[in-house]
Amino acid sequence: MTRVLFAVLLVAAFGMFAWTVWRFARQLFSARPQDRTDNVGARIDSVIRFFFGQKKVIEKTTLPAKRASRFVSALGSKYHFFIFWGFLVITIGSVETLIQGLFPGFSLQLVLGATLASALYTCIDVFCGLVLAIIAFAFFRRIVLQPRLIPMTRDAAAILGAIAMLMISYFGMRFGGAAVVGVSWWVHVIILLVFLNYLLYSKHSHIIAALPNIYFRNLGQRGVLPKLNMEADDMAATGVVQGWQDFTWKSLLDGFACTECARCTNFCPAYNTGKPLSPMQVVHDLRDDLRFRMPDRGPLDVLLERFQHGESAADQAAEKDKPLIGGRTTEEVLWACTTCGACQEVCPVFIDQPEKILQMRQNLVLVQEKVPSDLARTFTNLERNGNPWGIGADKRMDWAEGLGVPTLDDKPDAEYLLWVGCAGAFDDRIKKQTRALVDVMREGGVDFAVLGLEEGCSGDPARRSGNEMLYQMQAQQNVETMNTKKVKKVVTACPHCLHTIKNEYPQLGGNFEVRHHTQLIRELVAQGKITIDGDKLAPAGNGSGRPAVTFHDPCYLGRWNGEYDAPRAVLDALPSGPEGRVELPRNREQGFCCGAGGGRMWMEEKIGTRVNHNRTDEILASGAETVATACPFCTIMLRDGVQDRNAGDRVQVLNVSELVAKSMKRKREIDAAAPREA
């Protein structure tokens, strides 16, 4: 009788679970298609390293937080590794328990033999004990420490309580007397089956969705926005997102794969400076939009949501009716993002938060026509003058006055097109960097020319601000000009131009070999085409005991394009050498944004503190005499930060190219020093 009752329970529970999986999968695949079936080997490799190996969870990170909370956060993220493996091992014991319900004589000993089974039981005992301790810590953390991003919700309490009961009942089965064993067995089995069915409705949906999310992750170039069809007759046909059904199935799967670890938010520069943006919440908003608008939504959904959120029916109705873009995810949230990619970088399950934010921005700009006034001015500048500064397009070559820089019309066979960029052409401070770069390239014997007045804005500010229409107009014009002039190789002064021209112009028929100027300079130094003069810059710290230089990683060079080494190699070739360079605490993959990306350069920072001040304080604390940059926007933001902190006498902000230009030995000096041949 007991076996029959159990069999009915088992079939009902697994049947309902299968129905829930089918139900969510059906919604996901009713959204936009996306092909992620390529490269099976690399995908399996990802699953092994990042799902089973939990690589992202255990790798070293530098949280932008105070020391004490950094420790608790680090512990909080690392314990997931043990929970994960504990869960896998304990699952073996759970499977045995379920099989015993149908076949009471079954035991792991029959399959594995006495010795191996005994070792496995001991292993399960240890993991169960560990998981119980971790659950106790999780309760302590949420109730006593109360981290802002990981609250004690009803959902969390139910999940943590259920796991604790599973462990306690397991120990009851293992070590209890006859009566305890029977009760523990039923408690264990019922919690297990209820837990299974609750999973997809809870934060623990990642137990099911994390593996496929890692398998189907983007293996291609990061940070490339899907192209909208701006020639479509109506806005809906352009591909601009309006609600959950306009995202791809993979974007929706992201929401179910989220582990709610809050790493993305902890690393977000906007969040860390008091803005309302939490990338984790953006992902959840999209998932909730799906859940609130599922066509087959029924009383079970309402009941579960009411349990999880404790809201009245009226509140729930209001919540359900909120539009996703500008409602559930507010405009302030969407405009706060600097598109730095820090969130995506640290996400253990490869969720793409910036793409979702930018797609929603496109809706604000193109559909709702809601653009912050300062950004609207920038759009006008771009439309009228082809640059965000709004300076006349006819002044684009003023930076080169007296240098005799050739255009491609003067020198059609030049090996490289030097892409100057708007900052390099119009901002007085950055013009000096462009002149320094020209100086270095000439000394290195590089055969190059510029587009001159035919260069237009690359389109990065428009695209990252959601104005896809304007972006495509600008980019298309540039692509046509470059194709007409048969451009093959491009070297850019700016990492934003690098990213757009290299990775996004191919969507418009522009296929060029594009390099950042620090990559080219590294090559020139390595090949001996540029000689650094040891006398021009004194060794480390100029005798002051301070490090000579530190490097601020530009997000669009590092995180989006994977280049961290080239600028460092160039800096290490300077007279101060590697020992004269100090790393900032947040560097390379975990570098902290300057605050200018994603169109934020042209928006007032009205909420919270300033991102550039946060970074400047870190630079000042490093003690370095110079902070080297490789991006004009970073230079502007950090110089402003240094000025605001009245620290101009303590640190100078210079581009890598300026440092090289200052310390390289000119050919005429080398020639003059060479002994004359008899």
Q: Which residues in the 303-342 window bind ligand SF4 by CB under 6 A?
A: 337-342
Report 537-566 residues binding ligand SF4 (CB under 6 A).
none
Region of 165-173, 212-220, 231-239, 346-354 interacting with ligand SF4 (CB under 6 A): 346-354
**Dihedral sign, Cα of residue 520, residue 522, residue 526, residue 528:** positive
x/- letters, 630..649, toward ligand SF4 (CB under 6 A): --------------------
Kindly tell me which of 260 and 640 has the beta carbon lying closer to ligand SF4.
260
Specify the residue, 282 or 405, whose C-beta has the smaller distance to ligand SF4. 282
3-state DSSP helix/strand/coil % of the chain, to nearest 5? 60, 5, 35
- Of the chain, the end-to-end C-alpha distance in Å amounts to 112
Three-state DSSP state, 329: strand
Footprint on residues 401-440 left by ligand SF4 (CB under 6 A): none
The binder of ligand SF4 chosen from 86, 101, 279, 495 (CB under 6 A): 279
Question: With CB under 6 A as the contact rule, which of the stretches 35-43, 150-158, 277-285, 449-457 interacts with ligand SF4?
Answer: 277-285
Q: What is the smallest separation between the CB atom of 54 and ligand SF4, expressed in angstroms?
A: 12
- Distance, in Å, from the CA atom of 411 to the CA atom of 421, rounded to the nearest integer, reads 20
From 125-133, 233-241, 351-359, 524-532, give the range in contact with ligand SF4 by CB under 6 A.
351-359
User: Residue 283, interface with ligand SF4 (CB under 6 A)?
Assistant: yes
Span 356-395, contacts to ligand SF4 by CB under 6 A: 357
**Would you count residue 277 as binding ligand SF4 (CB under 6 A)?**
yes
- Name the amino acid, one letter, at 185: W
Measured from the Cβ of residue 34, the count of other Cβ atoms closer than 10 Å reads: 15
Cα distance between residue 516 and residue 561, in whole Å: 10
Is 431 or 463 the residue whose CB approaches ligand SF4 more closely? 463
473 CB neighbour count, 10 Å cutoff? 16
**Do 531 and 574 meet the contact criterion of CB atoms below 8 Å apart?**
no
If we measure between CA atoms, which residue out of 522, 467, 471 comes closest to residue 500? Answer: 471
CB 305 within 8 A of CB 316: yes
DSSP string for residues in 503-562: IIGGGGT---EEEEHHHHHHHHHHTTSSEE-TTTS-SGGGGSSS-SEEEPPPTTTTTTT-
Residues 579-598 touching ligand SF4, rule: CB under 6 A, are none
Alpha-carbon distance 321 to 343, whole Å?
A: 29
Smallest gap from residue 247 Cβ to ligand SF4 (A): 15
Residues 257-276 that bind ligand SF4 (CB under 6 A): 258-264, 267-270
Please give the biggest Cα pair distance in the chain.
112
Helix, strand, or coil here: 664? strand
Q: Give min distance, CB of 550 to ligand SF4, in A.
A: 21
Residue 349 binds ligand SF4, judged by CB under 6 A: yes
Q: Single out the residue of 83, 280, 482, 603 in contact with ligand SF4 (rule: CB under 6 A).
A: 280
Binding ligand SF4 (rule: CB under 6 A), the pick from 351, 450, 494, 520 is 351
Among 108, 192, 290, 343, binds ligand SF4 (CB under 6 A): 343
Binding residues (CB under 6 A) for ligand SF4: these are: 258-264, 267-270, 277, 279-280, 283, 337-343, 346-349, 351, 353-354, 357
